[in-house]
Structure 1
Amino acid sequence: MHSPVNLRSSARNQAGVTLLEVMISVLIMAVGMLGIAAMQTTSLRNTQSSMERSQAVIQSYSIIDAMRVNRVQARAGRYNTSGMACAVPEDDGSQSAADRHAWMTSLKNSMGNGAAGDTTTCGNINCTAAGVCTVIVQWDDQRGRDISGSASETQQVRTVVLL
């Protein structure tokens, strides 16, 4: 026959949770919380990068709309920049110069730091006589880069339209 099991001694031996079990549970929770924090950080970084890319597209369309209004001057090359322009151009009184000045000022304020010496937020406009215009917006996407990256991450959005 079987001998009866002493249930009282078994219950007394397993009355509580051991310190080791608690420490393992805390460790698992800590690793989980660190994972959640890392995902949140990545999400914020990618959201900022996405917002800057959207701003670049909006700024490209802004100058393209201005060139559509002043199509003759755009086809004549009055909106063209000589390479990547990082400085806000002077307004000489013409509509094209006023549009370029307003565009670059808006570009610097919305994407750059707005400082006069900002050399990371730049724009390039090149229109041909046939009306094919290329607008390039460049900026420093330092928040969107990999965590291990040490250099700035320059991004460009290129828009080509036919006026």
Structure 2
Amino acid sequence: MASPLNLNGHSRGFTLIEVLVALLVLSVGLLGLASLQTSGLRLSDSSYLRSQAVLAGYDLIDRIRLDRQDAPDYDTSGNFVDESGDVSVQQFKDWVSTQLSRLPSGAASVDCDGTSAVCTVRIRWNDSRAGGEDEQTFTIETRV
């Protein structure tokens, strides 16, 4: 004789609904993790570009300090100079070709006041990958 069906017993395994819900939760978690990774990479790149601009700015200030008598010759009158720009001082030419090539669409301007010996260096680059403003600027002002 066949045994009667026991409805009160514990069932083994998972139901299809439980498996689908677990997969849904897992997939949402993995999508969130992928989004977090993408955002982290983008912001890491932005931070790297800013640090390159800071290093380039201080490098140019050091070059101007080493060549104090020619500091007014570094002046670009507020105009931004990129790698194709024409500048008169060889130190500045070398700096433009080596440092600005590290920044996407990198450009720099130098304003040196001959009477007060104050120089302002502005470095501009394209930071569109970060998701904020496309153009970023770093400014440093110092007495030479």
Question: What corresponds to 1:111 in structure 2?
Answer: 103
> Does structure 1 residue 123 correspond to structure 2 residue 105?
no
CA contact (8 A) 2:76 2:111 kept: yes
Q: Which amino acid aligns with 1:52?
A: L
Given the alignment of the two structures, is residue 24 of structure 1 paired with residue 9 of structure 2, yes or no? no
CA–CA distance in structure 1, aligned partners of residues 140 and 59 of structure 2: 11
Partners of 2:57 and 2:122 within 8 A in 1: yes
Q: Which residue of 1 aligns with 2:3?
A: none
After TM superposition, list the pairs within 5 Å mapping 1:1-163 onto structure 2.
9-12=7-10, 14-74=11-71, 77-82=72-77, 83-90=79-86, 97-112=89-104, 120-129=105-114, 130-146=116-132, 153-163=134-144
Q: Percent identity?
A: 30
Give the Cα–Cα distance (whole angstroms) in 2 for the partners of residues 99 and 89 of structure 1: 14
TM-score by length of 2: 0.87
CA RMSD of aligned residues (A): 1.7
Separation in structure 1 between the aligned mates of residue 39 and residue 70 of structure 2, nearest angstrom = 45
Does the 8 A contact of 2:80 with 2:109 survive in 1?
Answer: yes
Supply the distance in 2 between the matched residues of 1:56 and 1:157 (Cα, whole angstroms).
Answer: 7
Unaligned ranges ≥5, structure 1? 1-7, 113-119, 147-151
Query: Displaced runs of 4+ in structure 1, greater than 6 A?
Result: none
Structure 2 distance, partners of 1:126, 1:64, is 11
Which residue of structure 2 aligns with residue 117 of structure 1?
A: none
Q: Tell whether the 8 Å contact from 1:89 to 1:100 is kept in structure 2 after alignment.
A: no
Query: Which TM-score applies when normalising by structure 1?
Result: 0.78
